[in-house]
Amino acid sequence: MRIFKLITGGLVLLIIALFIYQNLATFQTQLPFSLDLFIKEKVTGQFSLYSLLIVAGLTGVAVGVFLMLKPYFNARRLLAQERQKAPAISGSHAPVEPNRSGTSPLKEDVVEQESTDNP
């Protein structure tokens, strides 16, 4: 199975490399760029298509990671607040003993109830 994964991964990488090689002229196309924020003068320049694709892809990954981690950090913050609000456990309370009879409390209640019902 490990060899199959390596072969399949290699084929996928070869197909990606072939796609890039076949479209290399398109990726190297220079695109005009202008930015006018009405604060200073207009900023102009030329960028190749592949650099714009890389910038857009990395921006998308960064936004995706931020959006994915936002609920995680929110949950951590809420748990930390709950820990601070919870009272400290004092040593004066005896620990709770586990049920060692092998039956659940519900079954014991049923057995006791049946024995009290029979006269």
pTM, two decimals, is 0.51
User: Within a domain: residue 68?
Assistant: yes
The C-alpha atoms of residue 3 and residue 10 are separated, in whole angstroms, by 10
What pLDDT shows up at residue 93? 53
What is the number of structural domains in the chain? 1
27 assigned to some structural domain: no
Handedness of CA 51, 53, 48, 45 (dihedral sign): negative
Across 34-38, 47-51, 88-92, least confident range:
88-92
Q: Is the pLDDT of residue 115 over 60?
A: no
By residue range, what is the domain housing residue 76?
Answer: 50-85
Indicate whether 111 belongs to any domain: no
Burial tier of 13 (Cβ tally within 10 Å: 0-12, 13-18, 19+): exposed
Highest mean pLDDT among 34-38, 41-45, 63-67, 89-93: 63-67
Residue percentage of the chain with pLDDT more than 90: 31
- Confirm whether 96 is domain-assigned: no
In-domain check, residue 3: no
pLDDT at 16: 95
Going by pLDDT thresholds of 50, 70 and 90, the confidence category of residue 64 is very high
Find which of 12-21, 82-91, 92-101 is predicted with most confidence, using mean pLDDT: 12-21
